[in-house]
Amino acid sequence: MASPRPRPTRSGLWSGRAQVSLPSRATTPVRELLTRVGVALGLLLLLTLIVYIDRDAYGDHTGGNGVDFIDALYYATVTMTTTGYGDITPVLPHARLINVFVVTPIRIAFLVLLVGTTVEVLANQGRRALRDSRWRRKMRNHTVVIGYGTTGQSATAALLRGAIPTERILVIDADAQAVAAANRRGLAAFEGDATSRELLHRAELPKAKEVIITVGRDDTAILATLTVRQLNRGAHLVVAVRDSLNLPLVRQSGADQVVTSSDAVGRLMGLSSLSPELGEVIEDLLSAGDGLEVVQRLVTRDEEGRRPDELEGEKVLGIVRNRMLRRYYELGTETLRTGDEVVVVRKAAGAPRSPRVE
């Protein structure tokens, strides 16, 4: 039985819970803090110079020996922080006017900067919680990529090339750098353990349409597969494993498709060694934007009633009908129907055109 969904606290914030990290072009918190500290120090220095330049117009009621730079810095500090001990004061009329029209606005600016920084920190937490809640309400039929390493990044790139918008893809990874890399690519991401049911709930995984697991460890992949399948029985689940011996276990855990990365790379290297041309063709099919490409697409209205071998510029490898794949050697005289999908090999959109033979 699925665990209950987490509920917000009375304050409206998801205290202690993972929140989605959305792409943003804003400056980093450290840079923003350093900027504000620099502004505060600049105001302090400005006020110190004003007092020091006009030091003859100020009186030191404790030392009685005039005002030097240290005294000016001291006066500026206690004045900006509204402490005001009263031991150093402006005694001449023009110095008092400068305090009214110059020093007081500087003091107010400093207080606004100080209070504004505190309020913004609190507001950012609330704003982030609001963005998180708004994002979760909109996420339906999205794709969740668990693991954003080399394999996960390649899978995400393939999804983007397949016309899936960035706002429909969500990344989950335990590495903060991977989450930041996903954000730089315009993707929303969660940082945390992919086997955590609470985190997967926060990622709206029960409403996902596709789930891709590329975590790099077979034991973690199996546990993540079990957890994902418990939360979402209808999503199409693709899992990458390293050891082919784990294929049956991953399939029993609920994966629809399992890709053995080490075996696939090994087969490609073996084929490239035995037959360099064959290896080159296979690598060409796996790459995008150049040479050949393999795609799955819907049959167009103009193609209805035609035979697969009659399609121009494409070679049909199979037909998907009623969610069943029929390969090219099983087709016979089959004609294409409405709702069919065809798996074809064709020239990539970015491939150079071959010269026309006259």
**What was the pLDDT predicted at 13?**
42
Provide the CATH number for the domain around residue 57.
1.10.287.70
225 has pLDDT over 90: yes
Each residue's pLDDT tens digit, 48-90: 999 899 888 888 887 667 788 988 899 888 888 877 788 888 8
**Rg of the chain (C-alpha set):** 33
Same domain, 295 and 337: yes
Same domain, 256 and 156: yes
**Overall average pLDDT of the 35-53 stretch:** 88
Provide the CATH number for the domain around residue 206.
3.40.50.720
Determine if residue 255 is left, alpha or beta; phi over 0 gives left, psi from -120 to 50 gives alpha, anything else beta.
beta
Q: Which domain holds residue 251?
A: 139-264
Same domain, 118 and 196: no
Contacts 24+ apart (CB under 8 A), 252-259: 253/222, 253/225, 253/226, 253/229, 254/225, 254/226, 254/228, 254/229, 255/213, 255/225, 255/229
Min mean pLDDT across 134-138, 301-305, 347-351 is at: 347-351
3 state DSSP class of 244: helix
Q: Establish if 19 belongs to a structural domain.
A: no
Q: Establish if 213 belongs to a structural domain.
A: yes
Same domain, 118 and 165: no
Of 82, 101, 135, the residue that ends a domain is 135
Residue 152 has, within 13 A of its CA and on its CB side, a CA count of: 29
Q: Establish if 17 belongs to a structural domain.
A: no
Of 248, 264, 280, the residue that ends a domain is 264
Q: Establish if 102 belongs to a structural domain.
A: yes
Q: Establish if 282 belongs to a structural domain.
A: no
The pTM of the full predicted model, rounded to 2 decimals, is: 0.55
Q: How far is CA 324 from the centre of its chain?
A: 35
Same domain, 232 and 172: yes
Dihedral angle of Cα 164, 166, 167, 170, to the nearest 10 degrees: 100
306 has pLDDT over 90: no
Percentage above 70 pLDDT, the chain: 77
Domains contained in the chain, number: 3
**Overall average pLDDT of the 143-150 stretch:** 91
Q: Establish if 190 belongs to a structural domain.
A: yes
Same domain, 212 and 146: yes
Q: Establish if 280 belongs to a structural domain.
A: no
